[in-house]
Amino acid sequence: MKFNFKSRGFLVGVLSAMLIAVGVVNYQLSKQSALTVSKEFEAYEEAQQDKNTDKSKTQNSDKDAEDSKETAEITIVDSKDSENDAVKEKAVETSKEIEEQLTSKENMSKSTYILDMKMTREKQRNDLSEELNEIINNPSTTDKSREEASNMKLKLVKYQETELKIENLLSAKGFENALVYIGEDNVNVVVNKQDLSKSEAARIFDLVAEQSGVAYDQIKLMNSYSQN
């Protein structure tokens, strides 16, 4: 049997053409697949970027909310502290005003000095009590400030009772028309006696220290007799 070289050449040509066609088709398919993957990857990247952006916004929003909360808490704390300081400052201010009038040489030179000072003492204390009542009855007052104001009122009542008790005891010992004022950190005592001896002064200090519970260096003794 003779082999037909022409037929063989034709067959080789056909096979070569088919291989080329398959290669072209594979190339187009690969190119299309690559484009599809590339587009899908771009879409994935955009989605991730959007996700990260939303997450960043959420974190920033949470941080801003937390900062606002901390600021609000600081403001509340500052407000509470201010109320407490206001109660103390008012008590100190009232005490200072009474002591200034009490130790004024001009006032001590008046014949009505003792009576005037007792009236001044009561008036200033009553004014302070009214202001404390306003704090206590104010709905916006914090519990701590209300407690502080209530304690201050009780302290004023105790001061008044102790002052009256000391004045009566001094009167019983011969120091009539004595005046006692208990401040925030000291006690002022005024007597009206022509010749006040050191031993008498010592007895006054002992009595005042015992009844008020303050130290001797916190007691100020004055004699209004020499001023009249």
Cβ proximity of 80 and 145 under 8 Å: yes
Candidates 1.10.3720.10, 1.10.287.4300, 3.40.1110.10, 3.55.40.20; correct CATH number of 72-227?
Answer: 1.10.287.4300
How confident is the model over 120-170, as pLDDT tens digits?
999 999 999 999 999 999 999 999 999 999 999 999 999 999 999 999 999
The count of C-alpha atoms lying within 13 angstroms of the C-alpha of 27, restricted to the half-sphere facing its C-beta, is 6
For the entire predicted model, the pTM comes to 0.62
What is the average pLDDT value for the chain, to the nearest integer?
78
Most distant pair of Cα atoms in the chain: their distance: 167
User: Any idea where the domains of the chain sit in the sequence?
Assistant: 72-227
Structure tokens given for 30 = 């690969």
Instruction: Give the per-residue pLDDT at 76.
Output: 42
Burial tier of 212 (Cβ tally within 10 Å: 0-12, 13-18, 19+): buried
Tell me the pLDDT band of 85, cut-offs 50, 70 and 90. confident
